[in-house]
Structures are given as structure tokens and as C-alpha cells.
Amino acid sequence: MSDKDIKKQFGKRIRELRLAKNLTQLDLSVIINTDNKHLSHIELGHVDVKLTTIHRLADALEIDIRELFKGD
């Protein structure tokens, strides 16, 4: 799996989990203290995500961090 594929899959998973919690990108970006444009880039798989951001995402979505990496 290429780096691009990994980022796209991760972003897709974030979007799925965010929508399952009925959060907008703006809602989640405020909770994790980032710009909503950056969150959009994460969900589109356009950026590498810092470990600290991954941790904040898991906390905000109230899930175990491993849930962020579960594939289809």
C-alpha cells in the first residue's frame, strides 16, 4: 500500500467516525484545536498527520486510538 493510499484510507476513516458522531468538520476541528481546513485536508488524505493530532482525534471521537486504523 502506498503512502498516498494510507493517507486516503485514514482520512476516510476519520470522516466516517466524525459523521457517526454527528459532528461537522468545524465541530471536530474546534475540539481538536486545529483549523477546519487542515481537518479537511486530513479527511481527503492530502497531509501526513502528527501523532499528537491522531491522539486528539481519538479522544475527541471517544474511541480507542486503534479504531482510527481499522480498514474497510
Please count the structural domains in the chain.
1
Other C-beta atoms closer than 10 Å to the C-beta of 47 total: 15
Distance from CA of residue 50 to its chain's centroid?
A: 11
The answer to the question of residue 32 being in a domain is yes
Residue 27: give its domain's CATH number.
1.10.260.40
The answer to the question of residue 69 being in a domain is no
The boundaries of the domain holding residue 47 are 3-62
- Helix 36-44 / helix 3-20 crossing angle, nearest 10 deg: 120
11-45 residue pLDDT tens: 999 999 999 999 999 999 999 999 999 999 999 99
The answer to the question of residue 67 being in a domain is no
The answer to the question of residue 15 being in a domain is yes
Q: Give the phi and the psi of residue 15 in degrees, each rounded to 5.
A: -60, -45
The answer to the question of residue 47 being in a domain is yes
pLDDT at 28: 98
Asked if residue 70 has pLDDT above 90, the reply is no
